[in-house]
Amino acid sequence: MAAASQAHGNQGTGRVWKLLSFVIALPGVGVCMLNAFLKKSSKPPEFVPYAHLRIRNKPFPWGDGNHTLFHNSHVNPLPTGYEK
């Protein structure tokens, strides 16, 4: 019991967490930013017209009825394919 209470107040743990955040967390964030940058610069994937992904039983109540509410023409294809 006494060993557990002394381990809780150890002053070295703060230094260990600080070291871990600079050695592991910051490079990890950098790698994730690089991945997002490289993915953004690539072109969208080839359109494959899977019918079950774009079922329209009735038109959407906004716009032309074919675009979703948060439609993004770069990543969200219509049933006929990507917009030019």
| pLDDT, tens only, 23-68 | 999 999 999 999 999 888 777 778 898 888 888 899 999 989 999 8
Domain assignment present for 26: yes
pTM recorded for the entire structure? 0.47
pLDDT at 7 over 70: no
pLDDT at 3: 54
* Same structural domain, 58 and 82: yes
**Number of domains within the chain:** 2
Domain assignment present for 28: yes
Domain assignment present for 3: no
Range of the domain at 74: 49-84
Beta bridge partners of 81: 78
